[in-house]
Structure 1
């Protein structure tokens, strides 16, 4: 199941039932979990840690050096969890001294020609569309769906259960459970279809709609909205996730569609 044309580092650790295609290169400081499929012409470089049952398609380059001027050759890694699909020509750079690791969770699909920069953190069950460009230190929470050809500014954060429309320019944080669309990027409602598919009740969807109505459609500032929601809405996990996300946003969140 390992091509005789592949170049495999003698110190690399390859799990059971791993498939490695023609002209793939795997360097010494690499760990690959059981049952992973690696297609032709893949480059898996020093510092890559890949889980089980992944499928890595032709032309991908994993654990390339960070494209960051502050990187001075320090030891860093890329950690990729289980059951990830990484399509053709995806590039994932390893970390810098800031976080020392670029981390991908489990059950993600990263589509062709996407780039994930140094020190990024991607959760579980995410879809990263074709040609997405993700600069350094971006955080993407679970179940996020980032559509094709989106550009994401460094240090941006994308909340869980979000959808970001194609060709978007992300330079502000995107709170959880919503659709981000239009130009400039702004709130376009909650992610109704995705949330229903994941078992959110109608009552919960109504709660989220009302919270975001206060955040994005009232005419006062965000601090007022946070205070109002905290004092007038029942405490729930989702309410607190939204408020905590906004409070912790250094870049500020995207705007409402009326602005």
Structure 2
């Protein structure tokens, strides 16, 4: 395999391009950028310094990756953006580096970032997530594996969105969304278990049943959060998903959506 660089593209001499990389017209690849095997960079894309992109990614037209964080305290120190393999990042997306010296904004693998989404400094996305068009993640947001964020959604800094949860479009997230649940609204509230998403992801009927009991105990029993978690642990023999739900809530710093 060979590297294809359009004659109208600009590639810094220190950039490292693996076999099969395709660079489209008017793209700009900055210093100390690394791009993995068979990744395709669209027209007018800008990839700034200290950015690493894995294999077989697709980067859409006019996307900007690895720009300086939008934070008044950023002092210009080296910081990083790391994007894993098999990510589909569409047009006009912005993903920024960490604001901390040596820090890193991270995306895992097999994520789908739709057009005009914004992912700010120090965010961490897992694998197989979907961030829909015009959705904005403020700094330090965490998105768990398999989570889906609807379009035109705003996420407050430091909010965590749990694995296999789903957030409806035009939502405003001020608090954490527990794993496996549905959230929507402005501000977002919990609307139930993400049953369809869990079934599609291969969770067994028994696991879904346990998660439904846990959800009802948390949100329909009239107990406070501490009481609900204690009740779940006493009434169930929690499998790994329920244990993950409990651990997520116990370690929430912003509280969970009501």
Length-normalised TM-score, structure 1: 0.96
Q: Please point out which of 32, 35, 38 is paired with 2:38.
A: 35
In structure 1, the partner of 2:192 is: 189
In structure 1, the partner of 2:85 is: 82
Unpaired segments ≥5 residues, structure 2: none
SS at match of 1:228: helix
Q: Distance in 2 between matches of 1:44 and 1:100?
A: 18
- What is the RMSD of the two structures over their aligned residues, measured on CA atoms? 1.0
Q: Distance in 2 between matches of 1:196 and 1:220?
A: 28
1:71-110 alpha-carbon deviations (Å, 9 max, x no partner): 1111101000000001000000000117710000000000
1:156-181 alpha-carbon deviations (Å, 9 max, x no partner): 00000011000000000000011112
- Could you tell me whether the CA contact under 8 Å between 1:115 and 1:133 is conserved in 2? yes
Unpaired segments ≥5 residues, structure 1: none
- Kindly state the Cα deviation for residue 29 of structure 1 after the two structures are TM-superposed: 1.1
Q: Please point out which of 135, 138, 142 is paired with 2:138.
A: 135
Q: Please tell me whether residue 110 in structure 1 is matched to residue 108 in structure 2.
A: no
Do the aligned partners of residues 98 and 30 (structure 1) sit closer, same or farther apart at CA in structure 2, a change above 3 Å counting? closer
Alignment of 1:58-73 (within 5 A): 58-73=61-76
Question: Is 183-192 or 152-161 further displaced after alignment?
Answer: 183-192
Q: Please tell me whether residue 175 in structure 1 is matched to residue 178 in structure 2.
A: yes
Alignment of 1:156-235 (within 5 A): 156-235=159-238
Q: Please tell me whether residue 150 in structure 1 is matched to residue 163 in structure 2.
A: no
SS at match of 2:244: helix
In structure 1, the partner of 2:5 is: 2
Structure 1 stretches of 4+ with a deviation exceeding 3 A read: none
- Could you tell me whether the CA contact under 8 Å between 1:159 and 1:174 is conserved in 2? yes
Q: Distance in 1 between matches of 2:61 and 2:202?
A: 35
- Could you tell me whether the CA contact under 8 Å between 2:78 and 2:101 is conserved in 1? no
- Could you tell me whether the CA contact under 8 Å between 2:40 and 2:56 is conserved in 1? yes
Question: Is 239-248 or 180-189 further displaced after alignment?
Answer: 180-189
- Could you tell me whether the CA contact under 8 Å between 2:173 and 2:186 is conserved in 1? no
